[in-house]
Every structure is written in C-alpha cells, then in structure tokens.
Amino acid sequence: MNYKYTSRNENDTMTLAQNFESEKFPNMVICLDGELGSGKTIFTKGFAKALGIEETITSPTFNVVKEYNNGELPLNHMDVYRLDPDDNTIGFNDYFTNGGVTIIEWADIIKDKLPENRLEIKFNIIDENTRVLVITPYGAEYEELCDSVL
C-alpha cells in the first residue's frame, strides 16, 4: 500500500521526518529517492534534529556515509548517488544491522542491496515549494509505522 503526503514547504517535510522519528526503532532503514533539490536532505535534517543530533547535516555525496553517534540512536546517513551499483566495498548490511537508523539518499541505485523490510519515500517536485511524497512500507513494522504517522 502506498501513502501520499503533500509537503507545502521545508517545515512540512521536517515535521513529517520528526513524526517518523518519534516512532523509530533499531535497524530502521529509510530509502529516499527524488530529483536534486526535492527534499531528501531536508527530511534527513528533520529526522536527525528529532534524534537529538546537533551537528549540521549535509548530504554525504563525496563521503557516501556519514555516521552520527550522539543522538538517541546512531544515524547512518548515506548518499549513494556517485556509487557504482556493483560496488561491494561498502558493508551495507553492517549499517542496516548496527542498531541505529539508516537513511539512504538515491536508494534506487542500490536497490538490490537494500533489506527486504524498509520504508521508501519518493519525492516528487510539484512547484518551487510543493512536494508530493509517495511513501511505501515494506514489512509489518513499516506498515505499523505508516499507520501511526500518516
């Protein structure tokens, strides 16, 4: 089942992320996809802020992964845009099972490496400020998460 959420500005996107964070659980994986500037990093900033992470959140485009360990749970923020889909040097499973939350920007690029159970959010740009987010839960935990938040 897909859910749709209309974000009219960055604050809406951050609020949605904070609502998901309020229902977080260890080994949570959130996959974000959408064009450049669609709100993927804004979502991550909102989630990180709600986790209590005070560091500035930026897209880890050249690092691939940034780890934040000073919140309620560890946050692994990935940007796989520049990653070759056949690259096996990054231990994705290690991140997915380390007890924290993993948020992946451009997740479609590594679709075959993603865990079966996850939350996918597709950001669609409508106009300068408006985005329609299509949210798809995979697995009972993520369906319950969506029922709680949306």
For domain 3-149, the question of CATH label 3.40.720.10 is answered with no
Per-residue pLDDT tens, the chain, 150 aa: give them. Answer: 899 999 999 999 999 999 999 999 999 999 999 999 999 999 999 999 999 999 999 887 677 899 999 999 999 999 999 877 777 777 888 999 999 999 999 999 999 999 999 999 999 999 999 999 999 999 999 999 999 999
Reported pTM: 0.95
Query: What's residue 90's pLDDT?
Result: 79
Closest Cα to residue 116, out of 142, 90, 94, 77? 142
The sign one gets for the Cα dihedral 81, 13, 114, 50 is: positive
DSSP letter string, 20-68: HHTT--TTEEEEEEESTTSSHHHHHHHHHHHHT--SPP---TTTSEEEE
Query: What's residue 83's pLDDT?
Result: 79
Structural domain boundaries in the chain = 3-149
Burial of 39 (0-12, 13-18, 19+ CB in 10 A): buried
Which residues sit opposite 103 in a β-bridge? 30, 77
